[in-house]
Amino acid sequence: MDKEADQKSLIDLEMKSFILFSFLIFLSWPIFLIVSYTLSKHQISSMPAYWQFLVPITYLFFGYYSLQKKIPFPLIKKGEANTNAFFYSLLSLNFLWSFYISMKHDPNIDGYFLIFSFGLIQIFQSTTGLFNAKNTLISGILQVIFTSISYIFIYEDKFSIDDHLAIHFLWINILFFSFLNEVITRQINRIKEIQFDLEVNNMELDDYSEHIHRLLKEVENHNKFLKSTVEEKTKEIRNLLDHMKLAIFAVNEDYQILNPISKHSEDIFEQTIIGKSIFDVLYPDIKEDSKEFEDINCSFPLFFGEDEFQFSAFKENLPEIVKVPIETEDGENNKLLKLSYAPILNETKLVEKVLFMVEDITQSEEFFFKVQDEFIDFRYVKEVIARENKERIAIILEIAIKDGLTLFNRFYYNEDKQEDPVYFKNLLTEWFDKVRKNVNDLVLLDRALNREFWYVDKLDPESDDFIDLKIESPRRLSLSILGSGLNYIFKYSSNAELFFPVFYDLDYPFIYDISNKFDSLQESLMSLRQIDNEKLKDSTLKVINQLILLFSLSKIIQHDQLASEIDDLRYYLKKHIEKNDNSLSLFGKTYNRITTNILKLTKSLKEDIKEKIEKKKEERAA
């Protein structure tokens, strides 16, 4: 089909050339007639017969009629060759006939008309654009030969100046039009090449367009399929989540809670949580100046784009139990939530989101803290089981506890009256380095001690986290850091004792002073309400320093719930001071709730401490 179309296009192009050349012939012979008639009248001489002017025009009409009716040229079969045959025969007739008429009637129509004939013939050839330089030269040589023969056999007059001019004009025309035809044919060929390239490009563009259209259609269909699949899977997941008694949701690297969430999430948090930050929903009570807050803020971004192993390593830095204030119709209530974390991996097995699983354990809060104080952590148990020499672990823990309690007693009484933060920093660094060197193969304990060691940097005057000496005492902060570090070792020892006894004494002077310090706190809290606004800030700072000390003492006696309440009160008072609010608005609902909890927890503290001391003595004696 394409081949037939190309052939038809070629025949149409040749037909247009034939029509153009025919028009020039049709126009030139009437001009020839007018010139002949004018010369004959001017010279009062005869002119060629009128029929002689009609011969080329008659052949022209015959050829055009034959092409239209598809009458074949003699001995020619193909349509393309048929057109060329008529074309070249018309060209030859035009040349020969005009040349013959000019020479035959030279005396009658003046020899200068021969010059006109030669020029007109060359113009015809160049106008068609079918002759290049080579063909023009060949036809020119034939014309010169024919002209010479014509002068010998046809020309009847004497050879005159106009004949010389005609001969010179002929070869000049041949050279000029050879060059002109070459330029024209090159331009035509270039145009044809450009046209061909454009047609090829158009065909390629059509193919590309069709291909792109097909791809877009496929993408559209695929998107519809994916959309329906996602909607179906989302519905399945939502149905699954809605039947779980847990709050389950995913969180992105910007700390935002993503849709979908389990239906039970609304029951736990009693608010819309989609799009909110986990710091607002899960960690509102975690203090910004705490190591716990720093752990979350630093560890969470390290999950994303990493493998599951790194997630497991840094997951330990996230809290497992949190208290969250919940606004209800009855006012503000605290809920105790147990948190679990799991990675959501992408197709390359890297963490893309973090899955949070939240369980409300508020109803068992008292039981939880009791169990936590008698802590059995199966992670620690698993690590101890994996170690062959369990006696060595017990000895390492005994030495760490003994050195830590001795250093704590030294800081507590501070007989040297030291207040230089660098002094406390160096002693703490020495103790942490020694302990961590001995327990370096106990990964979980080493990691916990490393988190507490982070606070030691606050005692470095060159650190960006250096404490405000007007508010915090270096000695009390050192006791807090050391107490938290010892608390981790105590918990690890409780788990190690399942396999081998860990002996240590609590018979230190500061231990017997703990209950007295809590009695002093009660007096300070009572007197704080009676102080006027101008002195409230200074008195509050004194209470904060008392709380820092009591926090460390609570850690030493392994009373985590009491330590948590004390730290909450410290943070609350600190925030109040930072607002520069000296009013009695300090003593609001939050203050009353925390102080009541502390008083309740310390009611039988003296007896509890005495019982712990005696228990450790009995274990050692046994």
The model's pLDDT over 54-69, given as tens digits with 9 standing for 90+, comes to: 887 787 788 777 777 7
Helix residue spans in 443-473 (DSSP H): 443-453
Q: What's the DSSP call for residue 502?
A: -
- Alpha carbon distance, N-terminus to C-terminus of the chain: 109
Two structure tokens written together for 347: 């197709």
**Cβ neighbours around 426 below 10 Å, total:** 13
Mean pLDDT in the chain? 77
Whether omega for the bond prior to residue 260 falls within 30 degrees of 0, making it cis, is yes
Helix residue spans in 415-473 (DSSP H): 421-438, 443-453
CA distance 304 to 355: 12
pLDDT digits (tens, 9 = 90+) for 561-611: 888 888 888 888 887 777 766 555 667 777 888 888 888 888 888 888 888
Checking if the pLDDT of 489 tops 60, the result is yes
Average pLDDT for residues 489-509, to the nearest whole number? 85
| 3 state DSSP class of 578 | helix
Q: Is 137 in contact with 178 (CB distance < 8 Å)?
A: yes
Q: Is 418 in contact with 489 (CB distance < 8 Å)?
A: no
pLDDT digits (tens, 9 = 90+) for 528-571: 777 776 677 778 888 888 888 888 888 888 888 888 888 888 88
Helices 79-104 and 112-128, packing angle to 10 deg: 170
CA distance 550 to 537: 20
Helices 514-528 and 589-601, packing angle to 10 deg: 150
**CB-based contacts of 263: which residues, under 8 Å, 6+ apart?**
238, 241, 242
- Sign, Cα dihedral of 57, 62, 63, 69: positive
Checking if the pLDDT of 107 tops 60, the result is no
Reported confidence tier of residue 374, pLDDT bands at 50, 70, 90: very low
pLDDT of 52 reads 78
**CB-based contacts of 590: which residues, under 8 Å, 6+ apart?**
572
* Helix, strand, coil percentages for the chain (3-state, nearest 5): 70, 5, 25
**Cβ neighbours around 227 below 10 Å, total:** 10
CA distance 90 to 59: 7
Checking if the pLDDT of 354 tops 90, the result is yes
**CB-based contacts of 383: which residues, under 8 Å, 6+ apart?**
442, 443, 444, 445
| 3 state DSSP class of 243 | coil
Q: Is 258 in contact with 274 (CB distance < 8 Å)?
A: yes
Own/partner pairs, 391-397, CB within 8 angstroms, 24+ separation: 391/500, 393/442, 393/496, 393/500, 394/493, 394/496, 394/497, 394/500, 394/501, 394/502, 394/503, 396/438, 396/439, 397/439, 397/489, 397/492, 397/493, 397/496, 397/502, 397/504
For 499, phi then psi, to 5°, come to -115, -30
pLDDT digits (tens, 9 = 90+) for 92-104: 777 677 767 766 6
Checking if the pLDDT of 427 tops 80, the result is yes
**Cβ neighbours around 607 below 10 Å, total:** 10
Classify strands 351-360 and 247-251 as parallel, antiparallel or unpaired: antiparallel
Residue with tokens 């960690």, as numbered in its chain:
283
Higher pLDDT: 353 or 193? It is 353
Average pLDDT for residues 442-446, to the nearest whole number? 86
Using alpha carbons, list the distances in angstroms from residue 279 to 130, 300, 317, 598. 86, 12, 15, 26
pLDDT of 252 reads 93
**CB-based contacts of 155: which residues, under 8 Å, 6+ apart?**
103, 106, 163
In this prediction the pTM is 0.53
Residue of 555, 545, 487, 537 lying closest to 521 (CA atoms): 545
Q: Is 276 in contact with 317 (CB distance < 8 Å)?
A: no
**Cβ neighbours around 391 below 10 Å, total:** 10
Residue type, 522: Q
Q: What's the DSSP call for residue 344?
A: E
Q: Is 82 in contact with 76 (CB distance < 8 Å)?
A: yes
Our CA angle for 121, 57, 110, nearest 5°, is 50
Reported confidence tier of residue 432, pLDDT bands at 50, 70, 90: very high
Classify strands 321-328 and 257-258 as parallel, antiparallel or unpaired: unpaired
CA distance 503 to 493: 9
| 3 state DSSP class of 26 | helix
pLDDT of 277 reads 92
| 3 state DSSP class of 254 | coil
Residue with tokens 């022209």, as numbered in its chain:
60
Reported confidence tier of residue 505, pLDDT bands at 50, 70, 90: confident
Proportion of the chain above pLDDT 70, given as a percent: 75
Reported confidence tier of residue 344, pLDDT bands at 50, 70, 90: very high
Checking if the pLDDT of 9 tops 60, the result is no
CA distance 463 to 83: 99
Reported confidence tier of residue 373, pLDDT bands at 50, 70, 90: very low
**What does the longest C-alpha to C-alpha distance in the chain come to?**
163
Checking if the pLDDT of 162 tops 50, the result is yes
Using alpha carbons, list the distances in angstroms from residue 181 to 15, 119, 292, 400, 538. 20, 14, 92, 108, 109
pLDDT of 15 reads 57
Q: Is 127 in contact with 21 (CB distance < 8 Å)?
A: yes
Higher pLDDT: 60 or 332? It is 60
